[in-house]
Amino acid sequence: MSSIPEFAELLAGATKSAVHLEMRDVYFANPRFHAWTDGERVDWDDRASWWRPYHQTVADAVARGVTVRRARIVSEPVTDYIAWEYFQTRANVEAGEVVRWLPRHQAWDLLLPGTDLWIFDGRLMRVHHFSGDGEWISKELCDDAAIVGQHAAAFEQVWQRAIPHDQYEVK
């Protein structure tokens, strides 16, 4: 595939489901993470201060009947970045995502993809590539039914073991 649509376009085209698998303990740094490490906290009562276009894109998809699930495989004790993601996950949940966490030591016997990914309607996969320090490198699409099916099956194995966000405790 020569041109890779942006995430919002891919999610807008989904009719049933979008699943996201995250497996890194550190992603690229951003100003919101640094503000959090400096002690700033989101005022959850001031939605305009934290609601982003991403959240609206998810909320729109969920309103159309698309189920959006995110599973995160994390090392414990968690990194500062994952602790921040855990804190920020409230925004994802309020947008309509269902989020679960799987401690890495509970995933040792699963055959997992080599990188983070999104799968839309079980038929199209967007793969994310990062450098060792978590910087974004590139993305690619895959619509090969066999490959997407293998990755979708891996996601479902993670999902079955993972702990719902409201029950997971950051360690």
Instruction: Check residue 104 and give its pLDDT.
Output: 98
If residue 32 lies in a helix (H) or strand (E), which one and from where to where?
Answer: helix 31-37
Angstrom distances, CA of residue 17 to CA of 5, 20, 43, 61, 99: 17, 10, 30, 9, 14
For the chain, 171 residues long, the average pLDDT of each consecutive 10-residue run is 85 98 92 93 95 97 98 98 96 98 98 97 97 91 98 98 98 91
DSSP, res 133: T
* pTM of the full structure: 0.95
Domains in the chain, CATH or no CATH each: 7-167 (3.30.870.10)
